[in-house]
Structure 1
Amino acid sequence: MQRKLATIMVGDFVGSTSAMETDEEGAITRIDTVLETVRMIVQRHDGRVFSTAGDGLLAEFASPVNALRSAIEARAEIAALPGSSGGDMRFGLHLADVVVVGSDLRGDGVNLAARIEASAPPGAIEVSGLLYDQVRRISPCGFEDLGERRLKGILEPIRIYRVTELVDRHVFQFAPTRSAPSATQSPRTNSIAVARFDVAPGAVADQCFLAEGITDDLTLELSRLRGLFVSSRSAATALTTKDPVEIGRLLGVGYVISGSIRQVGDDLRVNIALTETCEGLVIWSDRIKRPFGELLDVLDEIIARVAATVSGRIEQSELAAARLKRPENMTAYEYYLRGLDHHRLIGVSDIHIHEAMAWFERAMAADPGFGRPFAMHVCSWSNLPNFDMDKAEQQVAHALALDPSDPEAHRIMGAIKMKSGDFVSARYHHIRAHELAPNDAYILGRSAAFYVYAGEAEHALDMLDRAETLDPFLPVWITEERVAALYALGRFEDMMRVALTLPFQTRRKSLYQVAASMACGDAGKAEFLVRQALSLDPSLSAVYIRMQETYADESVTETLVVRNCDAGLPLTPRKAAARKKSLSLR
């Protein structure tokens, strides 16, 4: 028998029997409308409906992420239909090796997906632990861990995760913002990308945080050298290819650093190569074996060697200036990298907020003179409802006192000052962050957000253009900043076009689309978008807008509120939030 690996999505219309008893013809029409909506969305995401059974359907996808996006979009679009209860459909998803029988798929994997769906409450999207493991770093949504559940007909308990309403909280969820350079386009002069480092065979899985951390640190410190064009950190996350030539083509860079890392006891082994992307020639490669305590020295050597090769001679003073303050204690650095690994996953599950904070706190205790953990601890903390702005400001000020040259600390302080209404100080810190890391696309994007709120939307668009030049795979929220900037300029048609480039609906995108639709006189579309937004987050209200959209000119915020409320957004939450809203400095 033919077999294949597939993501199975099972969807079922809830309450069809009672609906039939009340209004048979109306129920049939509604069920058909809902199922047709799901079919179209499945096709939109390269899926295939392979079976239907009255009021339900089964679909297959090659991509787990596409399956997840289909379920999320289907739930939102169904909830926005007139007369929807918001819980018309429920979905179960599972990744499995299945049997192919003609156009049908069969086997335990299909049965398990159906059991997951059947055990879910109305309106829910629930996935197996196996599928969750595949998508958690690149998913378009957050998850709630429901623990292990015994399902009818399944011998062993299955770990289940439920998709939360908060689909826009993933810090590094990305979306392509421009097309790749053409094959005939020459790479930029003095340009480089750092491919995500691998964990070498034989290393424990726990060392993934170390590989991610080295990728981040190399990218950040190279971006501080003014003679180099460095593709951003999120680009390394977005690309699945390991081929330096393909990376060069996609990112428009002339060189790629790639490598692997393995820690064995107290020894660290790093394999690294610098490849020229036009011909795929390896310019140099090395195998480095050093004590773990000398890791930062190894990074310094790599940076100096790369800079000399790619950009010619660079003065030692410039290399020294590019270095962040080093921790005195390597245990503190390891704790910091572990915290950073959890910080990247904050939007996936709230447990990562607490894990990130705990690791940063360990780093702070292990080396009180190491500034970065103090700043990143605040960044993680801002995702919790108990975030204290005054204490956070004091802690980031302490981080800057320890290391005044840390661009991330300046970025975080700029965000705090802006949220506090001090736009003068916020401007200083955002400018300083950009000066310290002129080639960091993430910092450019965050600075652009400041200029949107400060009333300088044209300048914000310029910064976003520069960020997108550095990285065609920016986080989704950076595209949201372009939406906000275009809205602030009254360029509503352009704003709507950009909003459609996002791969899924977010709360913020929806609110700006609603306001733009109302400004253009399309109340019907605005009302549909409000219903859709409330299906994503039933607790959404004007309170959220006033908390998040903190313009220096308060009339801009109030106009945003009025336009959304005129389209049906409640002034205060109609339903208690699953979790209290947080500020999120990202």
Structure 2
Amino acid sequence: MEQRLAAVLAADMVGYSRLMEADERSTLERLRTHRAELIDPAITKNRGTIIKTTGDGMLVEFPSVVDAVLCAVEVQRRMKLRNSDVATDRRIQFRVGVNLGDIIFDEGDIYGDGVNIAARLEQLAEAGEVNVSSAVYEQVQGRVDVEFVELGEKILKNLSRPVRVYQAVLPAATASEPVKPRSEEPVAVIKPSIAVLPFANMSGDPDQEFFVDGLTEDILTELARRHELFVISRNSTFVYKGQSVNLRDVAAQLGAAYVVEGSVRKAGNRLRITAQLIEAQSDAHVWAERYDRDMDDIFAIQDEITSSIVATLPGRIEESQQSRLARQKPASLAAYECVLVAKVLHHQSTRETNLEAQQMIARAVALDPGYAHAHAWRGCIYGQAWGYGWCDNLEETLDLAQASILKAASLDDNDADVHRLLAALYILQNDLPRALRHQERSLELNPNYDLSVVQMGEVHTWLGNPETGIEWIRKAMRLNPHHPPRFWSHLGRAHHTARQYNEAIEAFSHLPTLETLQLAYLAACHAMEGDEVNASRYADRVRETSPDFTRESFLETMHFGQREDLDHLTDGLIRAGLA
């Protein structure tokens, strides 16, 4: 047994028995949805630990009383929003009590007066209310953006002394106005919300329903792994299965900015699947695709199509969001929107857009210092500036990139971008085994993330497996047909390392502009092919672009794990006349 001071939150669902008697299945499904989409994430975000649950309630322990109050108020405010268009007799509502006191921890359970007071405070509350003890009030007063009213001293069941009780004042709030400590700027991380509606079975064959539903659920599950999206749960979207619905109305009911819908048609041994992404507010079709396949391996087809849709949609959403921001020209951007714009600028891969991206990502970090994804992309953007030499102080820029990536890692170990950037960091440090481990972790978290897939190709190229690297880079291009131009640069370098010079030259030809790195590789490729004219031409362009170019400094930016690969590039540069 362990005894220590802790904050305890006790919550109970009001009218549980009545709702279960009226419609047991619907009540359970709605309760699960609230848990999955709102309650459990709020607990996790505020560092809470669920100690026990009952059918209609739960007991949660927090290391900080501020965290406990923030969690309780956030849940009650957002539940009020969710209930705004629900009939009074069907609303799921909670009452909450929070106490701070000595707790006994024993075999996964908690006991003591600290727990009992929290439970009694909850019983005093009405639907949608939060009651706290004086111990809680004294700790959080002035530290959270919540007002309290004093209810006086109350005699609580089985307690020998009265407890002074305070009640949180919960004004109407919007989903983008979570409660925050007063020391932080109250700005939300606004993620694009997306609902995947059940795909329609157009085959006339009821036996295909299992495949159609499975395809829908796989797409939804994979999208949910993307940290930059808020994906509405299956329980909410499958309510509309088999119904003829107005997409704008459905989106409003689900709180979704985007809707994915599609259909499946089977004819003989042929399968046709269509999918489209719709911006709910404007009813505009952002993206649509059709897949025609043979039925030889239906589940392999399902995996392929799921991967393609999941890889394409975030990029399409980013473009749509960027377009919307440009149209609206808001005076103030929330942290996510700043990251969104910074990513779009980063992908353009020019010195000017990189500088703009730095400014935008700095704004995101200032708005939400705890936003891991913002720190991760700050590291990525500074890393790009360092890698291309788009900065006055290389050492300082690299330090900023490293610090940002490590900060992101300390905030969130389950973000694919964080591990992708840790892998990039270890590539820069020539620690390729460590880079490979983080790269594999990134792909475990999100196997369809084109930026992680293409970087796996880079890692294998550096390790001396360029043929494997080429396969990964080609896969990334298939996953995202609208990939950034730099993918061609990665592919060109991999082909060069594999001694496939014509293929490397062809890959570099897809780039809209050529920087020093690509020009040097092209000079080396033509030299190895014995084309002295083009080798000399590209070598001259290297010197024009970078008057201070030296072969030694250029080779220092390479990260080959095999000496023969470094010697191979050196030989090509020497033959091209690059000293």
Tell me if both proteins adopt one fold, taking TM over 0.5 as the criterion. Answer: no
Q: Which protein is richer in helix relative to its size?
A: 2
Higher relative contact order (CA 8 A, sep 6+): 1
Structure 2 length-normalised TM: 0.42
Q: State the structure with more CA Rg.
A: 2
Structure 1 length-normalised TM: 0.41
